[in-house]
Amino acid sequence: MTYLKRTIQFWFAIQSRNGIAAGLQSQLSTLASTRTVRSFGSSSPTETTLNSSSSSDKESDMNEEATPPSSLLRAFEEVPRSAIYEGGIYETIGKTPIVRLNKMLSKEDTKEGVAIYCKLESENPGGSVKDRLALGIIEWAERHGELKPGQTVVEASSGNTGIGLAMVCASKGYPLVCVMAESFSIERRKLMRFLGARVVLTNPAHKATGMIIKAKELSDKHGWFWPNQFENQANAWIHRETTGPEIVQAFENAGKKLDHFVCAYGTGGTVLGVGSYLKEHSPGTKVHVCEPDNAPMLYSGIPTKYPEDGQPSSSFDVAHPVWRPHLFQGWAADFIPKLVNEATTQQAYDSVLHCGGGEAMKVCQELALKEGICSGTSGGGILAAALKLAKQSPEGTTILALIPDTGERYLSTPLFENIPADMTDEEKEIAASTPSTPPPAPGLPAVEAEATEWIQKQIGGHKVLCVMLEYCEFCWTLTGLLDALGVEYHRIDVDSFEFAKDNQGNKYRSALQESTGCKTFPQFFVDGKFIGGAVDACMMWKKDELQKLFRDAGIEGGNGNFNDYQGDAFEFLPKWMTQNPLRSK
């Protein structure tokens, strides 16, 4: 296929999301009498020749061979990543950069001119390669009437698909329920919920199959749309339409040949979609797919037995015998997905490579230190395999590794276990090497009688008073404790917008400082008496002194007994205070 055709095909894939492309495409449909399209259903993609009169058929959206007017080429070229996207965030999916590794290949180990490039899928708006799938399966379902406006989507995911779907669904207005085993990173759960999804956690012992069973149960029970990413052809389709052409085009534009492409498999969408595209459009490129060395299902040669009655793979009755828990979130579920199987039978890849978790984490760290690229564990595994390939390659070999996501998604996992949150000895030494001169204190105005009067009125007028700075986490420590105790309080934020005019807030601060002798916040008052700050309040609670003070003032908190609070009052201190020097006092 010529560069122009590929460009247009890609342009369609990207732009058919908005009305302009849809309009242009339907114009083209009426121009062409016949055309070859790929049709996708529940089975493998097949080449089909359609008559233009069937332009409303679902296959018509996949028009690959129409000869477009050159304006489309211009339109594509004029839409760089930095363009304006009218439709929504999902229009920015794809077009991820390819970056050469300049320091990781040692001259001693590799022959002249051997190069590794990384396609950084973390540059997708949802931070992973799975954004492509999310868009592919949602738009596919929309076009084919499988997904109704406002219908809830439910999917089983190790997280990246869930985050991609949460982004696409938020932008398009579909509620999302993501089913995920508890063992996947906390960051993933939080990100999905932040994007409005609900996350149903499953027992890690039930593995990926348990997640799929649960997603199907929920879909059946509630009538939710279940894309079933492990078997959905739109998953491979989107990679054939975007990732594959992006790679071929990038290397073609740079005048470089691509000898090897290395990826891994989760659902198999990437290897089937990109692999089959490369086989067709870059036949000189060898495709390699990675799997964990302790769950080598493809290597084992043992197939997954799919249900014969066309039921989805959730009805497997036997887990794959060589699958073991591994470190690669997003790789190798406990069965060989149908899309992977299809990639095998179609010979969409040439070899299977293996990598261990420890090795992957080491390569991730090296990638960050030497190249400034922050990759998740799986990217480290793929790169580890690419590095081994590079060492065996002849002069001038070019390798592309697909890096699926960012290391930021793994802060709570073993990948970051050795990265401290507190200062190391070396950092302490650096810190101690200069005096750490404090910045000048904010200049407070002279005390004014009017401000003093106002402050005293507040102190006397509230049983419990917290004078605070609005966004100070120590101030929130105090209110966090009082909220837990069910103690009602009056709160004054002296630095709030309300008191900014004429420096009023600072006038109150001056008056307060003169009254209490205390410069810091919060300032805590009970029954007209100054008690101290947040740590003082917590300490007093721990020593049973605050309880007495409250009771003497007739304050009993929630349910007449401070909500029966039994916690450690220091739990409300800022989360970044990992070493609390007062905890043992």
Ligand X SMILES: Cc1ncc(COP(=O)(O)O)c(C=O)c1O
Taking residue 417's Cβ as centre, other Cβ atoms within 10 Å add up to: 10
Quick one: which H or E segment has residue 352?
strand 351-355
Does the annotation mark 378 as catalytic? yes
Please state the φ and ψ torsions of residue 249, each to the nearest 5 degrees: -65, -40
Q: For ligand X, which residue of 6, 17, 130, 507 counts as binding (CB under 6 A)? A: 130
Residue with the closest Cβ to ligand X?
A: 330
Helix, coil or strand: residue 139: helix
Size of the site for ligand X (CB under 6 A): 20
* Residue 377 beta carbon to ligand X: minimum distance, rounded to whole angstroms: 8
**Structure tokens, 50:** 């359609």
- Sign of the CA dihedral with 459 first, then 463, 469, and 470 last: negative
Residue at 440: amino acid letter: P
* Residue 465 beta carbon to ligand X: minimum distance, rounded to whole angstroms: 51
Instruction: Give the Cα separation of 245 and 239 in Å (integer).
Output: 8
Taking residue 316's Cβ as centre, other Cβ atoms within 10 Å add up to: 18
Within 138-167, the residues that bind ligand X by CB under 6 A are 160
Does the annotation mark 130 as catalytic? yes
Site string (502-541) toward ligand X, x via CB under 6 A: ----------------------------------------
* Residue 578 beta carbon to ligand X: minimum distance, rounded to whole angstroms: 28
DSSP state of 136: H
Q: Does 330 bind ligand X (CB under 6 A)?
A: yes
Q: Does 331 bind ligand X (CB under 6 A)?
A: yes
State which residue, 68 or 380, has the beta carbon closest to ligand X: 380
State which residue, 329 or 523, has the beta carbon closest to ligand X: 329
Helix, coil or strand: residue 41: coil
State which residue, 160 or 523, has the beta carbon closest to ligand X: 160
Instruction: Give the Cα separation of 532 and 536 in Å (integer).
Output: 6
Within 241-300, the residues that bind ligand X by CB under 6 A are 263-271
**Quick one: which segment of 123-131, 245-253, 428-436, 577-585 binds ligand X (CB under 6 A)?**
123-131
State which residue, 134 or 248, has the beta carbon closest to ligand X: 134
Quick one: which H or E segment has residue 500?
none
**Structure tokens, 389:** 């390939």
Q: Does 405 bind ligand X (CB under 6 A)?
A: yes
**Quick one: which segment of 124-132, 135-143, 249-257, 494-502 binds ligand X (CB under 6 A)?**
124-132
Q: For ligand X, which residue of 125, 162, 210, 376 counts as binding (CB under 6 A)? A: 376
* Residue 415 beta carbon to ligand X: minimum distance, rounded to whole angstroms: 12
Site string (336-375) toward ligand X, x via CB under 6 A: ----------------------------------------
DSSP state of 405: B
DSSP secondary structure string for all residues of 200-267: EEE-GGGHHHHHHHHHHHHHHHHT-B---TTT-HHHHHHIIIIIHHHHHHHHHHTT----EEEEE-SS
State which residue, 354 or 509, has the beta carbon closest to ligand X: 354
Within 430-489, the residues that bind ligand X by CB under 6 A are none
* Residue 332 beta carbon to ligand X: minimum distance, rounded to whole angstroms: 9
State which residue, 160 or 314, has the beta carbon closest to ligand X: 160
Instruction: Give the Cα separation of 337 and 334 in Å (integer).
Output: 9
In sequence order, the β-bridge partners of residue 38 are 47
Taking residue 156's Cβ as centre, other Cβ atoms within 10 Å add up to: 29
Query: What's the gap between Cα 282 and its chain centre?
Result: 31
- Active-site residue, from 16, 29, 119, 130: 130
State which residue, 28 or 129, has the beta carbon closest to ligand X: 129
State which residue, 28 or 353, has the beta carbon closest to ligand X: 353
In sequence order, the β-bridge partners of residue 401 are 118, 262
**Quick one: which segment of 48-56, 77-85, 329-337, 520-528 binds ligand X (CB under 6 A)?**
329-337
**Helix%, strand%, coil% for the chain, nearest 5:** 45, 15, 40
* Residue 375 beta carbon to ligand X: minimum distance, rounded to whole angstroms: 10
* Residue 119 beta carbon to ligand X: minimum distance, rounded to whole angstroms: 11
Instruction: Give the Cα separation of 325 and 292 in Å (integer).
Output: 9
Q: For ligand X, which residue of 129, 141, 546, 573 counts as binding (CB under 6 A)? A: 129
Taking residue 113's Cβ as centre, other Cβ atoms within 10 Å add up to: 11
* Residue 50 beta carbon to ligand X: minimum distance, rounded to whole angstroms: 28
* Residue 273 beta carbon to ligand X: minimum distance, rounded to whole angstroms: 8
State which residue, 269 or 522, has the beta carbon closest to ligand X: 269
Helix, coil or strand: residue 361: helix
Q: For ligand X, which residue of 110, 314, 378, 393 counts as binding (CB under 6 A)? A: 378
- Active-site residue, from 219, 314, 378, 393: 378
Contact 583, 535 (CB under 8 A): no
Q: Does 398 bind ligand X (CB under 6 A)?
A: no
Instruction: Give the Cα separation of 91 and 17 in Å (integer).
Output: 7
Write the Ramachandran bin of 24: left for phi over 0, alpha for psi from -120 to 50, otherwise beta: alpha
Q: Does 68 bind ligand X (CB under 6 A)?
A: no
The residues assigned a catalytic role are 130, 378
Which parts of this chain interact with ligand X (CB under 6 A)? Answer: 128-130, 160, 263-271, 329-331, 376, 378, 404-405
